[in-house]
């Protein structure tokens, strides 16, 4: 495989595939060959609506096709393991949605299975590849804030009506922690070189929708060298900007509107020299950045913006937060 153009199959007739991923794939010249759904009716309607040549309920038949290079798994979270394992059996490369799985056991098995089969497994964490987050990492690594002491993540948003389904249910993949906290971890882990130690957290059910799972959470997570990370994630906050701040001994980074799906946001650096905006050059679609890196990794050039291991590490943080909301105790990240 030397081409940058991939031929994709979709597992999951999902909103994210229709609204973000298929448009991003097509904008890069990739082809989308077909979709698998649990319902023949939904598969057919989805294929028609998204101009896909092939629709099926038979995952193995779809992923076994010769005209497919890679598979994008965007089914609901508790199905990710089953679907990824089917793709691994077919020997195709995989881009799996986050959270990688609903348990660490499942996620570890998925990463191991892909490694054994020699196929690429990447996770659709769109934030780490964003220009804003690459720049924040570059600033921290270059010593712009000195020794990092604290990170604050504001990722409280309003859940749009069209997504007010399984996320608010009582299933194993529901709730704001698996939905959003794992995204926070996907940027904080690489920023702090990935060594999360433990977490304490408190969640709530704030929305008018009678959710069976948490729709808001605040967490405190300790990383190596006693760096403290604070997160606020919610489905219930319509007007707050998202953001990420890094506070160090020599300076502070304040990044606004950077925890979103769109290539927006600004970064300000504050230190002894004053306060200044950091110039950002790359405003490409975040999913196109991710797909470009994925296609390059398939060609053997570089690594995806979030590898299977990165997805596993992000899930480990989210799971410690989830466990802490249930036990009321400090929980190890493992």
Query: Does 38 help bind ligand NDP (rule: CB under 6 A)?
Result: yes
| Count of residues engaged in binding ligand NDP, rule: CB under 6 A | 22
Q: Does 40 bind ligand NDP (CB under 6 A)?
A: no
Bridge partners of residue 8, in order along the sequence? 32, 70
Strands lying side by side in the sheet with 121-123? 54-56, 31-36, 7-11, 70-73, 93-96, 121-123
Q: Classify each residue of 200-228 as buried b or exposed e, where b means 16 or more C-beta atoms within 10 Å of its C-beta.
A: bbebebebeeebebbbbbbbbbbbeeebe
Count of C-beta atoms within a 10 Å radius of residue 87? 31
Place of tokens 């294929």: 47
Nearer CB in complex with ligand NDP: 12/251: 12
- Cα–Cα separations (whole angstroms), residue 70 to 16, 154, 159, 184: 17, 34, 30, 26
CB of 193 to ligand NDP, least distance (A): 23
Residue 187 Cβ vs ligand NDP, minimum distance, rounded to whole Å: 13
Tell me which stretch binds ligand NDP (CB under 6 A): 149-157, 158-166, 184-192, 198-206: 158-166
Binding mask 225-264 for ligand NDP (x = CB under 6 A): ------------------------------------x---
By C-beta, is 162 or 272 nearer to ligand NDP? Answer: 162
What are residue 186's phi and psi, to 5 degrees?
-65, -20
C-beta of 74 vs 181, nearer to ligand NDP: 74
Helix (H, G, I), strand (E, B) or coil at 122: strand
Complete DSSP assignment for 39-69:
-HHHHHHHHHHTT-SEEES-HHHHHT-TT-S
Quick note: the x/- pattern for ligand NDP over 79-118, rule CB under 6 A, is ------------------xx--------------------
Concatenated DSSP letters of 108-119: HHHHHHHHHHT-
**Cβ nearer to ligand NDP, comparing 132 with 247:** 132
Structure tokens at 65: 């096709």
CB of 183 to ligand NDP, least distance (A): 7
Asked if residue 39 binds ligand NDP (CB under 6 A), the reply is yes
Query: Which is nearer to ligand NDP, 36 or 253 (by Cβ)?
Result: 36
Centroid of chain to Cα 197: 21
Asked if 133 interacts with ligand NDP (CB under 6 A), we say no
Q: Is 61 in the site for ligand NDP (CB under 6 A)?
A: no
Q: Does 15 sit near ligand NDP (CB under 6 A)? A: yes
8 Å CB contact between 204 and 215 = yes
Closest contact distance (angstroms) between CB of 16 and ligand NDP is 4
| 8, 52, 74, 289: which one binds ligand NDP (CB under 6 A) | 74
Question: Contact, 280 vs 132, CB < 8 A?
Answer: yes
Residue from 56, 77, 288, 305 binding ligand NDP (CB under 6 A): 77
Stretch that binds ligand NDP, among 12-20, 134-142, 197-205, 268-276 (CB under 6 A): 12-20
DSSP for 58-104? -HHHHHT-TT-SEEEE-S-GGGHHHHHHHHHHHT-EEEEPSSS-SSH
- Strands 216-223 vs 266-271: parallel, antiparallel or unpaired: unpaired
Q: Which of 75, 189, 213, 288 binds ligand NDP (CB under 6 A)?
A: 75
Chain residues in the site for ligand NDP (CB under 6 A): 12-16, 37-39, 42, 74-77, 97-98, 124, 126, 163, 165-166, 179, 261
């Amino acid at each position: 495989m030397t081409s940058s153009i991939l031929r994709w199959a979709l597992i999951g007739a999902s909103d994210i595939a229709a609204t973000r991923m298929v448009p991003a794939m097509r904008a890069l010249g990739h082809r989308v060959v077909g979709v698998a759904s649990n319902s023949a009716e939904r598969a057919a309607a989805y294929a028609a609506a998204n101009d896909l040549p092939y629709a099926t309920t038979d995952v193995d038949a779809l992923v076994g096709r010769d005209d497919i290079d890679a598979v994008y798994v965007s089914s609901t979270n508790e199905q990710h393991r089953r679907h990824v394992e089917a793709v691994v059996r077919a020997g195709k490369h995989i881009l799996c949605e986050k959270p990688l799985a609903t348990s660490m056991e499942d996620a570890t098995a998925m990463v191991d299975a892909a490694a054994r089969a020699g196929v690429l497994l990447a996770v659709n964490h769109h934030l780490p590849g964003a220009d804003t987050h690459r720049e924040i990492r570059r600033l921290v690594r270059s010593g712009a804030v000195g020794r990092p002491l604290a990170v604050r993540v504001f990722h409280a948003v309003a859940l749009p009506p069209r997504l007010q389904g399984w996320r608010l249910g009582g299933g194993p993949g529901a709730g704001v922690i698996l939905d959003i906290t794992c995204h926070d971890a996907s940027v904080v882990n690489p920023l702090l070189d990935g060594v999360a130690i433990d977490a304490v957290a408190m969640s709530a059910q704030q929305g008018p929708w009678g959710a069976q799972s948490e729709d808001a959470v605040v967490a405190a997570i300790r990383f190596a060298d006693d760096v403290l990370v604070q997160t606020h994630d919610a489905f219930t906050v319509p007007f707050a900007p998202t953001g990420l701040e890094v506070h160090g001994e020599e300076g502070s980074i304040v990044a606004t509107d950077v925890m979103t799906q769109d290539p927006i946001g600004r970064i300000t650096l504050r230190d002894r020299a004053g306060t200044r905006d950091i110039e950002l050059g790359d405003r490409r679609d975040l999913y196109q950045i991710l797909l470009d890196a994925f296609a390059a990794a398939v060609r053997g050039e570089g690594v995806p913006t979030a590898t299977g291991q990165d997805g596993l590490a992000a899930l480990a943080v989210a799971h410690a937060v989830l466990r802490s909301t249930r036990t009321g105790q400090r929980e190890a990240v493992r």
